[in-house]
Amino acid sequence: MKKAGEGDAAAQHHLGLMYSQGSDIEQDYEEAFFWFEKAAAQGKVDAQYNLGLMYDQGKGVPQDYQQAAHWYEKAARQGFEKAQVNLGTMYIENQGVTRDYRQAVNWFEKAAEQGNAYAQYNLGMMYGQGKGVTQDLKQAYVWLSLTAAQEHEKTSELKDSIAKELTPRQLTEAQALAAKKQYQIDHPSESQKPAVTEPQKPAVSETKKKAPAKPKKQTSSKSKKKTSSKSQKQAPAKKK
């Protein structure tokens, strides 16, 4: 607590996590918000994400989607994949930002390239539905294949249903593209490596936010994907 009081951003974020989770201290979302805000103002990316999530869920502060989108974007621009997923979904849900499917695709793609399964699923759905991008079932298959490889529930069924819509040649090409993309994700160049690589864990309760017929937000780094295209949100990040 001393370091947090002295302005150390990492200590402030850690203290926010302690208050939000009731870890070795009485749970207090308002105190968590207070410390996340201080760390976020100093540019600490996981604190920016957590602050956005608290605004998003109305924990420790009145729910405010515009502020949620504001802090998600700050973290997203630093390469924080969970913030990218949530910001993309807010563009779809018309929450805090004006609905813009192209922007949604942009942020999903950034997170998907880092290997985020929720972003890969969302991107596959966008290609499959032709929202924010020209409909391309081959690309939809590619991204859903990468998601299925991470064993998300029933994504394989969606992938297989799309495969039936492809010609044998298209399917072979899509499978090759998926393998190439997975290799690129597993072996990123220095310029492609994410800015944030620290481990993550929930800081606030893992409630799910849903919207009809839309891609997903993730509420937990450990939660599994559902087959409907309803929205989910991702959970906060752990300290370094």
- Is the predicted pLDDT of residue 129 greater than 90, yes or no? yes
209 vs 98, more confident: 98
What is the C-alpha separation between 13 and 50, in angstroms, rounded? 9
pLDDT of 154 reads 74
Tell me the pLDDT tens digit for each residue of 30-70. 999 999 999 999 999 999 999 999 999 999 999 999 999 99
What is the C-alpha separation between 186 and 182, in angstroms, rounded? 6
Q: Which of 119-123, 181-185, 213-217 has the lowest mean pLDDT?
A: 213-217
- Is the predicted pLDDT of residue 225 greater than 70, yes or no? no
What domains appear along the chain, each with residue ranges and CATH number?
1-77 (1.25.40.10), 79-197+207-240 (1.25.40.10)
Cβ neighbours around 167 below 10 Å, total: 9
Tell me the pLDDT tens digit for each residue of 168-194. 999 999 999 999 999 999 998 766 565
Average pLDDT over residues 79-92: 98
pLDDT of 233 reads 56
DSSP 52-109: HHHHHHTSSS---HHHHHHHHHHHHTTT-HHHHHHHHHHHHHTSSS---HHHHHHHHH
pLDDT of 1 reads 78
Average pLDDT over residues 4-25: 92
What is the C-alpha separation between 181 and 197, in angstroms, rounded? 20
At 235, the pLDDT band (50, 70, 90 cuts) reads low
For residue 240, what are the contacts with CB-CB under 8 A and spacing of at least 6? 10, 198
197 vs 39, more confident: 39
pLDDT of 197 reads 42
Q: Is the pTM of this model over 0.75?
A: yes
At 151, the pLDDT band (50, 70, 90 cuts) reads confident
Average pLDDT over residues 13-21: 95
Q: Which of 2-11, 72-81, 117-126 has the lowest mean pLDDT?
A: 2-11
